[in-house]
Amino acid sequence: MTVPAFRAPKGTFDLVPPRGEAMLAVRDTLAAPLRSAGYGYVETPSFEETTLFARGVGESTDIVTKEMYSFTTRGGDDVTLRPEGTAPVLRAVLENGLHRGALPVKLWYSGSYYRYERPQKGRYRHFSQVGAEILGTEDPASDAELIVLAVDAYRALGLTGVRVLLNSLGSHESRPAYRAALQEYLRGLDLDEETARRVEINPLRVLDDKRPEIQKALASAPIITDFLSPSDRAHHDTVRSLLTSAGVDFEDDPRLVRGLDYYTRTLFEFVHDGLGSQSAVGGGGRYDGLSELIGGPALPGVGWALGADRTLLAMEAEGLPLPGVTGVQVFAVPLGDEAAAWAFGLVTQLRRAGVAADFATGGRGLKGAMKAADRSGAKYAVVVGARDLAEGVAQVKDLATGEQQAISLNGLVTHLQRLV
């Protein structure tokens, strides 16, 4: 076996059939509830100015300090492959003036994202997400709406093991008192130098530390929900009430944080226990101060990103059949040059009529062509030779039962449409 000269970069992967088709179907299903709810599609460049992420995501986050693919262009610009989608989408909204129109602005997007991480199952350096954002409103109904839409998408894929974790990080009214209490607690722990430094910069980042010894030390740490202001409490309670009324089960997780600094108030994560340590299949939250951080006007927002890669893994963990295209329905088997030209025309007509069709090429004999028909997954084969053409018929064979009948060429396309 020849060893290829080049391979996909470490921590990345190729999507090839049939998994590639399954991934497309997963992304389409995750996006379907958004499209039916009036969200418009937005697409941003794969790279942005590095400072957009440094300001928006947060200087103290692992994403900014350890995981970004940053480089200087030939023109001297410092750019970064996008590690997440919210900051670029908000930048696009501000640059294109969408916030000056009717509010709220509801958008969805899909694409590839990049983080330099230690590769492991469910965590790659190149990954695919479907995301959604609502900008221009502080209404807790928007928070609940996004969670419901995500749950509906997972249900549409047949997933039953996705759990919703919910928390509130409070706003500027609640955070200072909680930050002070958390810092006081953390300063009393025996922490390594890097973690101790993080306590002073952003103590909430310590809560996101997955090391067992850190999690054990945090067992008695103060929780944010004990510090919520009346307005933050009311906001959180409304979100919880709306989710309950929509039939969405959730688990209150007062220690839930995510690896981005811009979150305020509502925070949520979708997890699947079948994925092991990398259990999150999606998540998001509210980010009411992000616009000001990147130089824009006050523009509250809430959003989420759902991982297509991990969603596919979750489906496999539940033993669900992977979605995909229906595949070829009709396969033409021409015998001879004259029949090959005719088969090309038949396949073209079938495709234009909405029937998925393919045909044998390369002058294969009957045996080889029928093997190709079986491999295609087609339900029916259309076998035709010079004698059939002279008689004005084609042989339509049911590949499951082996039954075969001669059909007039004039009515062949209509007949096949009815069959499939």
**pLDDT reported for residue 59:** 65
Question: What is the reported pLDDT for 281?
Answer: 96
Given this model, what pLDDT does residue 323 score? Answer: 83
Is 284 exposed, middle or buried, given 0-12, 13-18 or 19+ CB atoms closer than 10 A?
buried
Q: Which CATH architecture has domain 330-419?
A: 3-Layer(aba) Sandwich (3.40)
Rounded-to-integer distance, Cα 410 and Cα 96, Å: 54
Query: Which residue ranges make up each domain of the chain?
Result: 18-173+229-318, 330-419
Architecture of the domain defined by 18-173+229-318: 2-Layer Sandwich (3.30)
Query: β-strands 162-168, 264-272: how paired?
Result: antiparallel
Binding site listing: 84-86, 115, 129, 133, 258, 262-263
Candidates 159, 353, 376; CA nearest to 274 is 159
Among the listed residues 256, 259, 251, the one whose alpha carbon sits nearest the alpha carbon of residue 267: 256
Which positions ≥6 away from 7 have C-beta within 8 Å? none
Q: How far apart are CA 44 and CA 307, in angstroms?
A: 18
Output the six-digit token pair for 265: 């108030």
The answer to whether domain 18-173+229-318 and domain 330-419 are alike in fold is no
Identify the burial level of 238 via C-beta atoms within 10 angstroms of its C-beta, where 0-12 means exposed, 13-18 middle and 19 or more buried. Answer: middle
Q: Which run of H or E residues covers position 346?
A: helix 337-352
What is the reported pLDDT for 259?
Answer: 63
Q: Encoding tokens for residue 36?
A: 């039916």
- The dihedral built from the CA positions of residue 314, 316, 320 and 322, taken in this order, carries a sign that is positive
376 burial level (CB within 10 Å; 0-12, 13-18, 19+):
buried
In the block, residue with structure tokens 């090391």: 211
Q: What residues form the annotated binding site for L-histidine? A: 84-86, 115, 129, 133, 258, 262-263
What does the alpha-carbon distance between residue 31 and residue 248 come to, in Å, rounded to a whole number? 19
Strands, E, within 63-181: which ranges? 70-72, 78-81, 105-114, 126-135, 162-168
| pLDDT score, position 200 | 86
Rounded CA separation 259/283 (Å):
11
Are 302 and 284 contacting, i.e. CB atoms less than 8 angstroms apart?
yes
The token pair that represents 375 in the structure block: 């491999």
* Cα three-residue angle 183-187-189, rounded to 5 degrees: 125
- What does the DSSP 8-state code read for residue 67? I
Burial class (CB in 10 A: 0-12, 13-18, 19+), 136: buried
How many CB atoms are closer than 10 A to CB 362? 8
CB crowding 187-214: b at 16 or more within 10 Å, else e: eeeebeeebeebbeebbbbbbbbeeeeb
Cα Rg of the chain, angstroms: 27
| Residue 362 CB contacts under 8 Å (≥ 6 apart), including other chains | none
Of residues 6, 213, 234, the one with CA closest to residue 141: 234
pLDDT value at residue 208: 77
Q: In the chain, which stretches have pLDDT less than 50?
A: none
pLDDT value at residue 219: 85
User: What distance separates the 2 farthest-apart alpha carbons in the chain?
Assistant: 92
Residue spans of beta strands (DSSP E) within 280-373: 280-286, 301-307, 330-335, 357-359
Among residues 275, 375, 368, 367, the alpha carbon closest in space to that of 358 is found at 375
User: Which pLDDT score is estimated for 36?
Assistant: 96
